[in-house]
Structure 1
Amino acid sequence: MDLRELLNDLKDNKIDIDMALSKLKNLPYEDLGYANIDHHREIRNGYPEVIYCEGKTDEYILGIIEKMNEKGSNILGTRCRKETFDKVKKIYKYAQYEELSKILKIQNHDIVNIGKGKIVVVTGGTSDIPVADEAYYTAKFLGNEVERIYDVGVAGIHRLLNRRHILENARVVIAVAGMEGALPSVVGGLVDVPVIAVPTSVGYGANFGGLSALLTMLNSCASGISVVNIDNGFGAGYLAAMINKLK
């Protein structure tokens, strides 16, 4: 139940003041002992809280989902183990799982497309797809039209140039790459929209787990590029969604 629905129920005498007060008690956040669920985040930020599943026990994740589900929120979980999802699926039959990106989704109400244009997700290689898919499904879940262009890195730049018409119709581009991380600079030189660069940990030894790609992206000579942390597809998808809903 959101705040507007609660106030309407009170006005229509469907609930009394005492019941309204009891429901308001848990509206700002709900203390579960191991987590404080921020039920007001959607009112403040436009999107509900997202569950970062890595490092949480299955019991904690199920407890958080239960309380968010009671509020009727659409639920997105990142870095979710398949074994955890299997437990969630037994309780919430309509839960969905994207195995490559480890995204958990529970859709309690229709996702309204609030984006003003298209977000395009581009990868340097096939090995970058798990991170790119995290960005893709995050942006879609937050109400955006999203298109993917995968495996078009600088080792064969003609592959990217053949898709240039797609890039030119984007409102935001997410460029995901490992190795030396050159892709965002190339994309930034082709488009007139914001580019969100995502370094991945894909690469050989001197890649240093994505550090080389991160430093390349931070030092890009192309303008209009922002950089998120290594392997942070979720952060890129969320930022792209925020940019895309601006007037």
Structure 2
Amino acid sequence: MRDTLEALDAGEIGVSEAESRLAGYATTAAGRFDAARERRRGIPEAILAEGKTPAEVAALTTTAVETTGRALVTRADADDAAAVRTAFTAGPDADDELSAAVDHDERTRTVVVHGDEFTPPSLDATVAVVAAGTADAAVAGEAAIVAREIGATVDRVDDVGVANLDRILDQRDRIAEADVVVVAAGREGALSTVVAGLVDAPVIALPVSTGYGVGGEGVAALQGALQSCSVLTAVNVDAGFVAGAQAGLIARAVDAARRD
């Protein structure tokens, strides 16, 4: 505690970082940012943009970079991304301006910000993120970005839906090399069951809200995963962050085992 107070007094850290060190979170007008989540859970805190104004998203993103060196924003639109870019390129004055790299992926609706001094984590583990079709790529991409931010090497395998089994069978060996597999599939969601029957790695089914009619909007895909005759786990519909985070935690355990 004394070291933190002395650093604050010396101007080496700001109030937000001092608060995050002492309380585990930093308070902003937009809410409290959980700066200790990665240390506590191994998962970086994510800022959900939905339900927040662009100004609130930008404020939380700035606090995230100040306290942890980076920020991960999910479900962001173009206005959210623009507000974040502005926060890191046009501060009120030169002394307050933060320097960071901002990466907005429109398809996955994510914004990733790395401060200039941030060193991304690196794990000796691979996560395969498999998407049934192009329509499933956005949710699969969110999972991939989260797993990558945790430190895993990510291998994307796209457009291998079960409408033509040859498409998944000719990627079987590649997928089998991964330490954990996330399978994003909409409609009936059969791909996760097929993949779980082909590889010996843990498989996480990520139902996607593609499809229509009875069982549409991801309902059939989720129910199929829950009823799967292959051994797998399932997350909620379109829950790319959760699937990516779970895969990242498994990757962390694999990395720790290999280091031992």
* Counterpart check, 1:202 vs 2:198: no
Distance change (3 Å), C-alpha of 1:32 and 1:201: same
Q: Residue type matched to 1:220 in 2?
A: S
Partner of 1:60: 56
CA offset digits 1:190-240 (Å, max 9, x no partner) = 0111000011110021133111110000000001x1100001111111100
Partner of 1:107: 114
The secondary structure found in structure 2 opposite 1:165 is helix
- Structure 1 residue 124: Cα displacement: 1.2
Partner of 1:211: 219
Partner of 2:184: 176
Q: Residue type matched to 2:242 in 1?
A: G
- Structure 1 residue 140: Cα displacement: 1.1
Aligned counterparts of 1:62 and 1:15: Cα–Cα separation in 2: 24
Aligned counterparts of 1:59 and 1:45: Cα–Cα separation in 2: 28
* Counterpart check, 1:92 vs 2:88: yes
Partner of 2:71: 75
* Counterpart check, 1:165 vs 2:173: yes
Match of 1:192 among 197, 200, 203: 200
Deviates more, 1:191-200 or 1:32-41: 32-41
Give yes or no for contact 1:48–1:73 (8 Å, CA) kept in 2: no
Could you state the TM-score of these two structures normalised by the residue count of structure 2? 0.84
The secondary structure found in structure 1 opposite 2:192 is helix
Aligned counterparts of 2:127 and 2:187: Cα–Cα separation in 1: 24
Distance change (3 Å), C-alpha of 1:228 and 1:43: same
Aligned counterparts of 2:8 and 2:133: Cα–Cα separation in 1: 56
- Structure 1 residue 72: Cα displacement: 4.2
**Structure 1 spans left out of the alignment, 5+ residues:** none
Q: Residue type matched to 1:236 in 2?
A: A
The secondary structure found in structure 2 opposite 1:245 is helix
Q: Residue type matched to 2:52 in 1?
A: K
Equivalent residues in 2 for 1:112-191, closer than 5 Å = 112-114=121-123, 116-191=124-199
How many residue pairs end up in the alignment? Answer: 236
Distance change (3 Å), C-alpha of 1:34 and 1:180: same
Aligned counterparts of 2:207 and 2:127: Cα–Cα separation in 1: 18
Distance change (3 Å), C-alpha of 1:96 and 1:90: same
The secondary structure found in structure 1 opposite 2:246 is helix
Measured on the aligned residues, the alpha-carbon RMSD in Å equals 2.2
